[in-house]
Amino acid sequence: MTVFFIAMAFLESAVVVYLRALYYPDGFELTLVPMDPLLVRTEVLRELATMIMLLAPAALVTRSALERFAWFSFGFGVWDIFYYVWLKVLLDWPASLATPDLLFLIPVPWVGPVWAPCLISIGLIVLAILLLRRSALGSPSTLGGLTWLALVGGAGLMILSFLIVPLSGSVDLGDMVHANGVGSDAGPLSTDYPWPWFAVGLLASSYGLWRIWRPMARTE
């Protein structure tokens, strides 16, 4: 599974290499250049296809909903971290973990420093390991309302930290679209990152992880 997700990350990175060669030959500095509408739609559909590809192996290895969620979390974490590893190998980018990046396009462009999705990915891998270990110990298949609230609420706050600036009206997906991919630049995306939202979400999610780990630690 790990090898599959690392290979999948390389494919994702390869697409970025091609797009940057076509549209950002002088380097990517979070300034959206106009793209052909077909390519923008293709990118959105590719991102949806990526989520399906992450879900499919999880659905094949187990019938347990919680274990499927665990394998999806593990796959997403490995895939996302190695996406940046491969970009560093191929393009020597990002320059540092503080480098801002365009993370996702649905429903608006998500923007944040590289360290933010990497921390989320590490948390997802930890979550997956805890859930799979919990299942192996024969623990109940439910986590409890407070644990889910901490995990989902924390994740929501971290995702919101990527969306606050774009949703404020500074940029939307339409800014990337221009007939035949020619025209003036759509302008730079704001690099002002509301990290306190991420920090609160990280604390909430960490509390959820602790609630999963605590009863296992008592039994081992």
Residue 141: its pLDDT value, please?
67
Residue 73: its pLDDT value, please?
96
User: In this structure, which amino acid lies at residue 73?
Assistant: S
Q: At a CB cut-off of 8 Å and minimum separation 6, what does 157 contact?
A: 197, 198, 200, 201, 204
Mean of per-residue pLDDT scores for the chain: 86
List, as one string, the DSSP characters of 142-182: ---HHHHHHHHHHHHHHHHHHHHHIIIII--GGGGB-GGG-
> pLDDT-based confidence at 41, cuts 50/70/90?
confident
> pLDDT-based confidence at 181, cuts 50/70/90?
very low
Residue 39: its pLDDT value, please?
85
Residue 187: its pLDDT value, please?
53
The strand pairing partners of 111, in sequence order, are 102
> Quick check: helix, strand or coil at residue 137?
coil
The mean per-residue pLDDT over the stretch 85-102 comes to 93
Residue 12: its pLDDT value, please?
94
Q: Determine phi and psi for 19, rounding to 5 degrees.
A: -65, -40
The mean per-residue pLDDT over the stretch 31-56 comes to 87
> pLDDT-based confidence at 176, cuts 50/70/90?
low
Tokens 């500095």 sit at which residue? 29
Interhelix angle 2-23/37-61, rounded to 10 degrees, is: 180
CA atoms within 13 A on the CB side of 70: 23
> pLDDT-based confidence at 182, cuts 50/70/90?
very low
Q: Is the pLDDT of residue 188 over 80?
A: no
Q: Residue ranges per domain, the chain? A: 2-219
pLDDT digits (tens, 9 = 90+) for 160-171: 999 988 777 655
Residue 169: its pLDDT value, please?
63
* Percent share of the chain, pLDDT over 70: 87
pLDDT digits (tens, 9 = 90+) for 64-80: 889 999 999 999 999 99
> pLDDT-based confidence at 137, cuts 50/70/90?
confident
> pLDDT-based confidence at 131, cuts 50/70/90?
very high
Residue 106: its pLDDT value, please?
79
